[in-house]
Amino acid sequence: MMKTETATGTVTGPMRKTEAAPAWARIIATFFGIGHLQPGPGSWASAVTVIVWLLLTPGIAPQWQPWAVLSLGAITTLAGIPAASRVARASGIQDPQFVVIDEVAGQLLAFIAVPVSWKSLLLGFILFRGFDIAKPPPIRNLERLPGGLGIMMDDLVAGLFALVFMHIAKHFGLLPN
């Protein structure tokens, strides 16, 4: 199957552009329009996710933060798959760069059971973006999954890779407990 990288995303094989995606799908898929920021809409979405998590955590007891970030990640994923599918189909691009809900979900996963500090937020951002951009195996292969599932899964696994490294850093005292 033909795969072409474009300035707006990845096109694989013949994908027909359809009628416009519903407003709810565009809002979710672009994370309230952040996906239209340039350059690097994925990095913008990850950065905003870090800031939102930082702002939310003072209102959440520390013992509930792992459950809160896991729940936010799950909700984001469950809403993101159909939204990303609809927007990708409407744009005619398999993985449009402006669809950034996948970065939001993956970034959230990097913070599960990691205490919030400037070091953990910065390291989580760097690790997640690094894995998301480099896409080491098997991350790149997950992009081949159909529709929104493929759009979301590579970022979720990048988030899991970042999470593992975050917990290694925590174990060795590089992050607070």
pLDDT digits (tens, 9 = 90+) for 20-74: 999 999 999 999 999 999 999 999 999 999 999 999 999 999 999 999 999 999 9
pLDDT in tens, 114-157: 999 999 999 999 999 999 999 999 999 998 999 999 999 999 99
Q: Is 170:114 a contact under the CB 8 Å cutoff? A: yes
Q: What is the Cα–Cα distance from 140 to 131, expressed in whole angstroms?
A: 10
DSSP code per residue over 21-37: PPHHHHHHHTTTTGGG-
In a domain, 114, yes or no: yes
Q: Is 18:82 a contact under the CB 8 Å cutoff? A: no
In a domain, 11, yes or no: no
In a domain, 15, yes or no: no
Tell whether pTM > 0.75. yes
In a domain, 7, yes or no: no
Q: How many domains are there within the chain?
A: 1
SS3 119: helix
Residue-wise burial string across 57-89, b where 16 or more C-beta atoms lie within 10 A, e elsewhere: beeeeeeebeebbeebbeebbebbbbbbbbbbb
